[in-house]
Amino acid sequence: MSSAIKLDELRKSFGPTEIIRGVNLDIKKGERHAIIGPNGAGKSTLFHLISGRYNLSGGHVSLNGEEISNLPPYEIYRKGLSRSFQVTNIFPILSVFENVRCSLMWSEDYKYSFWHLVDRERKLNDRAAEVLEEIGLTSRQHVPAGVLTYAEQRALEIGLAAAGGADVIMLDEPTAGMSHSETDQAIELIRRITVGKTLVMVEHDMGVVFDLADRISVLVYGEIIATDTPENIRNNKAVQEAYLGVEAEHA
Amino acid sequence: MSDIAKVQNAVMSASFLKRFGPWLLLALGLIVLPFFFSSNIAVYTMNLMGIFIIFALSYNMLLGQGGMLSFGHAVYFGLGGFMSVHFMNYIEADIFVVPVVIVPIFGGLIGLLFAVIVGSFSTRRAGTVFAMISLGIGELIASCSLIFVAFFGGEEGISADRTMGPEVMGVDFAQDIEVYYLIAVWAFITIALMYLFSRTPMGRMANAVRDNDERIEFIGYSQRKVRFISFCASGFFAGIAGGLFAINFEIVTEENLNALTSGVVLLMAYIGGVGFFVGPIVGAVVFTLLQTLLSNYTEIWQLYVGVLFVSTVMYAPQGLTGLIAMHIPAFKMKRLRVLAVPYVRAGIPTLLLLAGISGFLETIHHVRSAAVGETTMSLLGIEFDTHTIMPWIIIAVLVVVGGYLTKTQMPQLREAWDEANAPLKSDEGGAS
């Protein structure tokens, strides 16, 4: 199977501090891939590097075999990679419906059009209604997104990332701060929207990770120490030491 | 069957009214206004209003809809005005003959041209950077106007004669009322276009950029390009307003593109309410009224406009339109009556307080600026001597009593407000 995302010796420094220290990773098309690691390991930074929010200090990123290193985020999005954010990042004054509609605009090929009237575009509006139905926010579509509850905002966050039909979806801690039942709903949602797509997610909740992921990568201090199936990761000695805080015994 | 058809027809006509009703009303209003207000000063005021409405709406494409705070929007207004004045002179000199009616288009085009140039580097970021660049460009163009005298005419500006163009339907624009209808037609067209712009994908993305310029890049849009396009459209409409200004006054000077005018348009948009499409229209109307009417009564009208602006920023950031919009929920629940008495009870002392304050300001102003030895002044038809103690006592009593009563009336107003806006019982029960 060919790779969706391929990272080659990826590096990122902030001043003298190197946060990402040579990451190599090959994420296959159609797999659900989780990235785990202790706090401060650089998981979110890695996401920002892949999605174009940060510029690379070194190395290469390719998407579906095409080099995307240091492209602006919107170029990367147009090539088929979409992401959500750990800290909710929506359009707070726009209505929920408008949020979703905006996230569909590019993929429905409106570009910077000022010769269409959005309310007249039936296909666009139907599609927005579908997405709202999918993320369970139909009844809340007319309120400003800023007044949604936390869990609803998280659902919208995922919806914005998934709506445009990108074939690689990256979710940064989609269930952070959610209650048990909300987490279960979120998992269901993620499962539904990523059918036939590639999913990359950062997640702290091991239950979610082992439930969803086909493969797991463990990032520790800017390096990937293991990439394997959930079963093997669970039994991996190095991972247990690094991730679960068990002291390594040096000879 | 026929019943269903009837119902459908009713629904159709209802939505037709809803969609086009406001526009028909606007058109009708623009047509009949001069029949009610036909004096010279009224037509003068309405002409200025029309121009400022277009200008303020174009400004709000930046501030309210695109999240860009500009301190130099008069540049595009003024340049549009200068271009139009030159065009009127070309017409007069038979160099390039078009009807005066379409001259504002050329004003718009020059506004657009300069917006393209300035926007190409100023729209990279919003916020402070954008504001500072707009301020700098504003100063730059304003100082250019005293350097490039051939185009800007130096301190006396450029003047022209609007009556020299080929007549359209026998109208030569010698009368102000003819210019009124010209401005009205242009205002209608540009208001409609700016409204429609806000309903396009581009208009929606401008709102999205305002809300969160980071996230927009992760749904496929370049924040810079979105801002750039808004900026260009805004410059175009400002230029049209400038063109109409040139036709109306037949003179354009440096004052029309300097920081003062840029400040005025910010004031109008903000006082009216930047969060609403109609906000700047309200702001332009109120500002023009203050400027033309209040200035007849008092020399310090600008002070009042300033106070109005500051209190809008502090107490009603949604502007005058926002104050009206606040009452919509109560209106829908048919509870506005609850507020009537409390408003009167709080309003009367507030008026006393305001009368006291403005009396104080007016009297102080008179004492400081009147001719030596002239001590009598007249306020609201009451003549008094500013060098006696009585007027000051009255002012003090008005301020103290008005202020105290206003303060004591506030709790009952707040209570009434809460009562008027409390959710309906049926809502609490979950039924619709």
Residue of A47, A74, A168 to mutate, testing the B interface (most B Cβ within 10 Å of its Cβ): A74
Rg (CA), chain B: 25
Residue A248 inside a domain? The answer is no
Report the chain A residue with the minimal C-alpha distance to residue B210: A91
Higher pLDDT, A62 or A207: A62
Which of B196, B200, B215 shows the shortest C-beta gap to A89? Answer: B215
Same domain for B201 and B346, yes or no, is no
Residue of A47, A75, A81, A91 to mutate, testing the B interface (most B Cβ within 10 Å of its Cβ): A91
Which of B210, B218, B222 shows the shortest C-beta gap to A51? Answer: B218
pLDDT by residue (tens digit) across B360-374? 888 888 888 877 777
Residue B3 inside a domain? The answer is no
Q: CA B69 to CA B67: how far, in whole Å?
A: 6
Scored b (16 or more CB within 10 A) or e, A154-186 reads bbbbbbbbbbbebbbbbbbbbbbebeeebbebb
Residue A145 inside a domain? The answer is yes
Residue A171 inside a domain? The answer is yes
| Cβ pair B219:A103 closer than 8 A | yes
- The values of phi and psi at residue B138, to 5°, are -60, -45
% of chain B beyond a pLDDT of 90: 56
Which of A83, A91, A113 shows the shortest C-beta gap to B212? Answer: A91
Q: Which range of residues forms the domain containing residue A150?
A: 3-243
A-chain CB neighbours of B202 within 8 Å are 112-114
Query: With an 8 Å Cβ cutoff, is B233 touching chain A?
Result: yes
Residue with tokens 């709903």: A185
Residue B211 inside a domain? The answer is yes
Same domain for B189 and B223, yes or no, is yes
Same domain for B235 and B132, yes or no, is yes
Residue B380 inside a domain? The answer is yes
Under DSSP, the state recorded for B292 is I
B-chain CB neighbours of A102 within 8 Å are 204-205, 208, 216, 219
| Residue at a domain's end among B308, B324, B340 | B324
B65 near B230, Cβ under 8 Å? yes
Q: Which residues pair with A33 in a beta bridge?
A: A200, A215
Q: CA A52 to CA A63: how far, in whole Å?
A: 12
**Can you tell me whether residue A36 is helix, strand or coil?**
strand
Query: With an 8 Å Cβ cutoff, is B318 touching chain A?
Result: no
The total of other beta-carbon atoms located within 10 Å of residue B176's CB is 16
Same domain for B290 and B396, yes or no, is no
| Cβ pair A112:B229 closer than 8 A | yes
Residue B2: which pLDDT band, with cuts at 50, 70 and 90? low
Residue B200 predicted with pLDDT over 90: yes
| Residue at a domain's end among B274, B305, B324 | B324
Same domain for B14 and B97, yes or no, is yes
Report the chain A residue with the minimal C-alpha distance to residue B215: A89
pLDDT at residue A250, rounded to an integer: 43
Query: With an 8 Å Cβ cutoff, is B217 touching chain A?
Result: yes
Q: Would you call B388 exposed, middle or buried from its count of C-beta atoms within 10 A (0-12, 13-18, 19+)? A: exposed
Residue A182 predicted with pLDDT over 60: yes
| Cβ pair A164:B208 closer than 8 A | no
Higher pLDDT, B113 or B431: B113
Q: CA A138 to CA B288: how far, in whole Å?
A: 44
Residue A248 predicted with pLDDT over 60: no
| Cβ pair A118:B204 closer than 8 A | yes
Same domain for B128 and B189, yes or no, is yes
- The values of phi and psi at residue B384, to 5°, are -150, 165
Which of A72, A78, A89 shows the shortest C-beta gap to B212? Answer: A89
B-chain CB neighbours of A44 within 8 Å are none
Q: CA A176 to CA A84: how far, in whole Å?
A: 12
- What's the mean pLDDT when you consider all of chain A? 90
Residue with tokens 């007044």: A147
Q: Which two tokens stand for residue A136?
A: 């369970």
pLDDT by residue (tens digit) across B134-153? 999 999 999 998 899 989 98
Residue A60 inside a domain? The answer is yes
pLDDT by residue (tens digit) across A91-107? 999 999 999 999 999 99
**Can you tell me whether residue A69 is helix, strand or coil?**
coil
Same domain for B211 and B338, yes or no, is no
Residue A76 inside a domain? The answer is yes
| Residue at a domain's end among B299, B324, B349 | B324
Alpha carbon of B199: minimum distance to chain A alpha carbons (Å) = 6
Which of B199, B217, B225 shows the shortest C-beta gap to A117? Answer: B199
Q: CA B40 to CA B177: how far, in whole Å?
A: 9
Nearest residue to A222 via CA among A51, A70, A49, A81: A49
Residue B185 predicted with pLDDT over 80: yes
Which of B200, B222, B225 shows the shortest C-beta gap to A117? Answer: B200
Report the chain B residue with the minimal C-alpha distance to residue A124: B201
Under DSSP, the state recorded for B166 is P
Nearest residue to A87 via CA among A55, A139, A47: A47
Q: CA B132 to CA B124: how far, in whole Å?
A: 13
| Cβ neighbours of residue A6 closer than 8 Å, sequence gap 6 or more | A25, A26, A27, A60, A61, A62, A65
**Can you tell me whether residue B249 is helix, strand or coil?**
helix
% of chain A beyond a pLDDT of 90: 74
Under DSSP, the state recorded for A57 is S
| Cβ pair A112:B215 closer than 8 A | no
Same domain for B96 and B192, yes or no, is yes
Residue B432's alpha-carbon distances to A144, B61, B336, B423, in angstroms, are: 21, 37, 21, 12
Same domain for B35 and B118, yes or no, is yes
| Cβ pair B200:A82 closer than 8 A | no
pLDDT at residue B319, rounded to an integer: 93
Residue B429 inside a domain? The answer is no
Number of domains in chain B: 2
| Cβ pair B205:A89 closer than 8 A | no
Residue B386 inside a domain? The answer is yes
The A-side interface with B (CB below 8 A) comprises 51-53, 72-74, 77-78, 82-83, 85, 89-94, 98, 101-103, 105-107, 110-119, 160-161, 164
Residue B196's alpha-carbon distances to A30, A63, B200, B201, B274, in angstroms, are: 42, 38, 7, 10, 17
Q: CA B258 to CA B29: how far, in whole Å?
A: 33
Which of B200, B204, B211 shows the shortest C-beta gap to A92? Answer: B211
Q: CA B4 to CA A155: how far, in whole Å?
A: 40
Number of domains in chain A: 1
Residue A199 inside a domain? The answer is yes
pLDDT at residue B428, rounded to an integer: 44
% of chain B beyond a pLDDT of 70: 95
Helices (DSSP H) in A82-179: which residue ranges? 96-105, 122-135, 150-163
Report the chain B residue with the minimal C-alpha distance to residue A110: B201
- A75: CATH: 3.40.50.300
Residue of A79, A102, A127 to mutate, testing the B interface (most B Cβ within 10 Å of its Cβ): A102
Q: Which range of residues forms the domain containing residue B172?
A: 10-324
Residue of B112, B123, B219 to mutate, testing the A interface (most A Cβ within 10 Å of its Cβ): B219
Same domain for B333 and B306, yes or no, is no
A82 near A131, Cβ under 8 Å? no
Residue with tokens 């037709």: B16
Q: CA B3 to CA A232: how far, in whole Å?
A: 69
pLDDT at residue B13, rounded to an integer: 65
Residue B4 inside a domain? The answer is no
Query: With an 8 Å Cβ cutoff, is B201 touching chain A?
Result: yes
**pTM for the whole structure:** 0.90
Report the chain A residue with the minimal C-alpha distance to residue B211: A91
Report the chain B residue with the minimal C-alpha distance to residue A85: B215
Residue B79 inside a domain? The answer is yes
Residue B120: which pLDDT band, with cuts at 50, 70 and 90? very high
pLDDT at residue B432, rounded to an integer: 35
| Cβ pair B217:A101 closer than 8 A | no
